[in-house]
Homo-oligomer: A and B are copies of this chain.
């Protein structure tokens, strides 16, 4: 463990007083009962708060929507998994047998969760300032390059805001079909709004992407500009 603590000190710049917290943060649930999921819950909330505070103070002219979307680009699973790769965290995470072989989505999610668990552990070990400093250091390169003005609304958000501003009821999405082999599924989704007679149907490789496509097409019908 001391070797790992040394590595974390070099990469995160944080020295744990209680190394059992560090061990726990790096232990996936596949290993046994003393895993990192509770720490991940705590770290996720801390990360959201620290980034919110940073964006709030750094971008006094950004509105709530821009702040929310900017934060979402910083703290999503893919972004945190990249952070974890930058730290070579993958080598330090303790995984059970079954998980060792898994790749792809699982892998990203395990890495991202470990980053959040580490932040929770640092908070418990060293307090808010230590946690805040670690977040800002981990995200430093991303934080310096963000521009809230450039965050575009995704189509579902844009459609929802369009309808709300006109006091119409919200769209209803339905999954109509899921086809294809499990690694290459195609989702068919419909988007129904009160003011159109028929639902708009669209496809995508994930439910979310299919819904975004359906929302985009619906918005275009409602507001062709």
| Interface positions of A (Cβ within 8 A of B) | 37-38, 40-42, 44-46, 48-49, 51-53, 56, 62-64, 67-68, 120, 128, 167-170, 172-173, 175, 177-178, 182, 185
Contact = CB atoms under 8 A, between A and B. Distances in A.
Given A169-B182, A178-B172, A38 B64 contact: yes
Kindly name the residue among A52, A175, A178 whose own CB sees the greatest number of chain B CB atoms within 10 A. A52
B172 A175 contact: yes
Contacts of A62: 38
Kindly name the residue among A46, A62, A64, A120 whose own CB sees the greatest number of chain B CB atoms within 10 A. A64
B38 A63 contact: yes
A105 to B, nearest CB: 10
Q: Which 5 pairs show the lowest CB-CB distances between chains A and B?
A: A45-B52, A37-B64, A49-B49, A45-B49, A41-B64
A195 to B, nearest CB: 12
A37 B63 contact: yes
Given A175-B172, A182-B167, A182-B169, A45 B53 contact: yes
Given A167-B182, A172-B178, A41 B37 contact: no
A185 B169 contact: yes
